Amino acid sequence: MKLIRDASEIIAKTLGEQAVGQDEAVRLASWCVAVPAGDGGVLLLNNFTKELILIDDGDGLSGLHDLKETDSELFCYLSRHWFTVPVALDDKNLVDEVRSVVSCMNKPEGIVGYTILTTTDCNARCFYCYEQGLERVNMSRQTALDTAEFIKKTAGKKIKLHWFGGEPLFNSSVIDIITDELKKSGIEYHSTMTSNGYLVTDSVVKRAVESWNLKGVQITLDGTEEIYNRRKAYINPKGSAFQRVLDNIEKLLQAGISVSVRMNLDMDNADDLHKLCDLLADRFSSYEKFGAYAHYIFDGKTADSLYYTLDETYIELEKLRSYLREKGLARRGKLGNTIKTSHCMADKDSSVVISETGKLYKCQHITPTTESFGTIYTGVENPDIIENWRKRPEDGEICENCPLYADCVRLSSCPDDFAFCPQVIYDEKLEKLKSTMLYTYEEYLKTEHS
């Protein structure tokens, strides 16, 4: 047996070593995932502690009691390191207990994540935009100054700002104001942005590097030139918006800023997105900081209401994701370092969304009916809204014995997620985890041979 990756320190400490009961009936824990690797071997991940090992002969795992006789050293190791557990253990309950301990230990002081809507206005008119119906308003100079004051009062150490909209670059002067104020106060920050990329100019790139500490931008491309231009329907475009956005992506990459292209897929643009992959690979694959990923479009109300059925969408999505991998555009994920304790910004005390008028929200997905929980001037006014974002849906039958349970925190109110996995999504998540296991193993082999 070889240790490929150590267990997470915090989880190993919280759990301690499991005592080996000599006569107790044991089974493989539900959080274990096995993948064939090496010469007849098996990579075995403990997706609770995050420990990854390589077993020379995986056959023993199917008959653990024989393993006790044939390789008692391995049998004891698996038990001490929580790969095997007593038959009667409630796995999910143990994960939940550890999750709540780790969540208390890892709580940062103050707010460390601020998502800021510089405007609700935008120069594009995407048909699927969930903000349709919101009044188009720019953040004013005064609100920007007040936002900076709010951040100074509430910030923890090393904060992350995320510029959002509308189109955040439609009102980029407020980014200058906020970052200038934070700089003057000696607050350490870096930022990221969700943008359509159309308004990136040399001046924007200069300010992004020198003042905004901009590390990454997510830009959506829904197709090649003709389809993209039709779908984005920019107001008053000058020339081809598509060509302009590609040039702007290059400007960002040349300045050392990461670009992640999001491809919104539905059944009308699925084929064209494959052509887009070819085009992006030709132009950007030499940039280390370039990547692309695919997601389905939903109608913005609930993830259950896709424009097409989930199964048909997922067939196309999987084809596209595998093409992205083949073209070297998909960033290969690494195994997480510890158990997941929150879903996203919405259920974290350390994150907040600030609107263009200074209202506070938990989720960045703001529609005309979303209620704020307070303002930058008054602080929290409605704590029930915050509590409501912490509500979890009931587990589904598919969640019993799910090896992904330690990585799974769901929110009842997230509009971009399902209550629990439909089968296609479960299969996809499991495949993704297996691919990260193999990637971690490949990286291990590289360091072993270097």
Residues that bind ligand SF4 (CB under 6 A): 344-346, 363-365, 395-396, 398-399, 402, 404-405, 408, 410-411, 414-417, 420-421, 426, 429
Q: How far is the CB of 260 from ligand SF4 (least distance, A)?
A: 16
Buried b (16+ CB within 10 A) or exposed e, 390-414: beeeeeeeebeebbbbbbbbbbebb
Q: How far is the CB of 433 from ligand SF4 (least distance, A)?
A: 10
Q: Among residues 199 and 399, whose Cβ is nearest to ligand SF4?
A: 399
Handedness of CA 209, 211, 215, 216 (dihedral sign): negative
Q: How far is the CB of 94 from ligand SF4 (least distance, A)?
A: 14
Q: Among residues 332 and 429, whose Cβ is nearest to ligand SF4?
A: 429
**Neighbouring residues of 192: CB distance < 8 A, sequence distance ≥ 6:** 160, 161, 162, 163, 214, 215, 216, 217, 218
- Nearest to residue 153, comparing CAs of 329, 376, 407, 367? 376
Q: Among residues 31 and 242, whose Cβ is nearest to ligand SF4?
A: 31
Upper half-sphere CA count for residue 450 (Cβ side, 13 Å): 6
Q: How far is the CB of 246 from ligand SF4 (least distance, A)?
A: 27
CA distance 329 to 120: 31
Q: How far is the CB of 271 from ligand SF4 (least distance, A)?
A: 28
Q: Among residues 173 and 412, whose Cβ is nearest to ligand SF4?
A: 412
Please answer whether residues 58 and 36 qualify as being in contact, where contact means their C-beta atoms are separated by less than 8 angstroms: yes
Report CA-CA distances (Å) from 287 to 249, 254, 280, 291, 331: 11, 8, 11, 9, 12
Place of tokens 């919280």: 14
Torsion of CA 78, 333, 409, 411, to 10 degrees: -170
Q: Among residues 161 and 346, whose Cβ is nearest to ligand SF4?
A: 346
Q: Among residues 4 and 346, whose Cβ is nearest to ligand SF4?
A: 346
Q: How far is the CB of 276 from ligand SF4 (least distance, A)?
A: 24
| Residues found in the chain | 450
Q: Among residues 272 and 318, whose Cβ is nearest to ligand SF4?
A: 318
Q: How far is the CB of 325 from ligand SF4 (least distance, A)?
A: 21
